[in-house]
Amino acid sequence: MKTIVFDIETQNFFTDPAVGWNNFAALRISAVGVYDYEADAYQCFEEHEINSVAELFSQSDRLIGFSMHRYDIPVLHHYFKSLPHPNLDLWQKDRVDLLDEIEMVAGQRVSLSKLAELNLGVSKEYKGADAITFYKEGNIDKLKEYCLKDVKLTKELYDLYRKQKYFLVPDRRTDEVIKVTFNVDRISPITEKYATLF
């Protein structure tokens, strides 16, 4: 099964003028970072390379991401639906959204930075809003570096989970660190809150 780990960054956000909350069609991609297990390689694409992104995704069987159901897939969906490539309905692919899996078990969310800190011993240097700043400043190299670091953290977390079968997650209600387990080999369900996004 061809598996890819991915993350996207956008030029704008819902809070920007003329966008509006959950208006995914108004969001513009700045970078798409991908790790391809088959090729054992990282790649980062810009918006004008969307056809290359579509080709890679059309060949994939399993998608791994962090909060990809809430953001990455809906944004890509609007780009892909006008392209001629076959097999581009990302909702129909085998998917593992690490954040969704954690939330369904623990009843709360956790940031990628905190999850990586607790389980890998590293944390993020920048936040998502910084990626938009990098784009607006024309610092594309920094933007791609940021995007690929998120992909690398997600990939390493996924690999770790497959090995040890649990994540350490902070419980916001008790301030304790708890173990969270889930079935990483099943397809992540499309919950009702995503049903209106495609």
Does the predicted TM-score (pTM) go above 0.95? no
Tell me which of 191 and 13 has the higher pLDDT: 13
Q: Name the domain count of the chain.
A: 1
* Rounded (10°) CA dihedral 62, 63, 64, 66: -150
- Report helix, strand or coil for 90: helix
The pLDDT of 125-152, averaged and rounded, is: 95
Show the domain range for 39: 3-197
Share of the chain above pLDDT 90, in %: 76
Q: Angle at CA 110, nearest 5°, toward 30 and 124?
A: 50
We report the CATH number of the domain holding residue 66 as 3.30.420.10
